[in-house]
């Protein structure tokens, strides 16, 4: 006896089931795209102790210096992206992170209490929360 004749699969998955499944997959795709594919980054925000001290549009190249408890953190904004160029912190994590290009990305210079965050046109969900 054939284990899976066509007729049996038909009764396992009925037309309405297929419809609900397709609607579910479509909804899931829309959800995924809207949550994970945020638009281009538009702004660089600099925070000291979590407080916003400055925000710059990514459309203009510039170098910014921010003073924290350990010294000066240098931030470079260039061609639609931003990075920490130098930081007095001992481990240099935020410098080694390199260029930030997408909204929600963040470089955290924790020893110097400085953070650099990119945001899009609209507020996006920060991945650091997880």
Partner 1 sequence: MLHRLSLTPDDHRIARLTAAAIAIALVESAVPSPLPGVKPGLANIVTLLVLLRYDWATAAWVTLLRVLAVSLLVGQFLAPGFVLSLSGAIASLGVLFVFRPLVTHHSRWFGPVSLSILAALAHMLTQLLIVRVWLVPSPGVWVLAPVFFGAALFFGMLNGLIVAWLMQPNGYGVASSENLPHNT
Residue 93 CB contacts under 8 Å (≥ 6 apart), including other chains: 108, 109, 110
Q: How far is the CB of 48 from partner 1 (least distance, A)?
A: 21
State the minimum distance, in angstroms, from the CB of residue 13 to partner 1.
6
Task: Look at residue 97 and give its three-state secondary structure.
Answer: coil
Task: Output 51 or 129, the one with its CB closest to partner 1.
Answer: 129
Nearest Cα to 109, choosing from 130, 78, 88, 82? 88
Interface with partner 1 (CB under 8 A), residue from 2, 6, 36, 51 = 36
Alpha-carbon distance 50 to 63, whole Å? 21
In order of 15, 46, 97, 116, 117, the CA distances from 58 in angstroms are 50, 12, 18, 12, 11
22 is a contact residue toward partner 1 (CB under 8 A): no
Per CB under 8 A, which region of 22-30, 58-66, 77-85, 112-120 contacts partner 1? 22-30
Single residue of 2, 6, 11, 72 touching partner 1 by CB under 8 A:
11
By CB under 8 A, is residue 57 in contact with partner 1? no
- Closer CB to partner 1, 29 or 110, in the complex: 29
Tokens 């020893």, located at residue: 111
Which spans of this chain sit near partner 1 (rule: CB under 8 A)?
A: 8, 11-17, 20-21, 24-25, 28, 31-32, 35-36, 125-130
């Amino acid at each position: 006896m054939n284990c899976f004749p066509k007729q049996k699969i038909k009764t396992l998955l009925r037309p309405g089931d297929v419809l609900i499944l397709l609607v579910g997959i479509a909804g899931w795709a829309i959800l995924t795209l809207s949550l994970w594919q945020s638009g281009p980054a538009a702004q660089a925000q600099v925070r000291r102790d979590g407080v916003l001290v400055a925000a710059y549009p990514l459309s203009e190249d510039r170098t910014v210096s921010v003073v924290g408890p350990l010294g000066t953190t240098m931030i470079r904004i260039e061609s639609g992206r931003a990075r920490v160029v130098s930081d007095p912190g001992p481990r240099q994590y935020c410098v080694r992170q390199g260029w930030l290009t997408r909204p929600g990305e963040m470089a955290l210079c924790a020893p110097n209490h400085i953070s650099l965050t990119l945001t899009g046109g609209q507020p996006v969900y920060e991945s650091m929360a997880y």
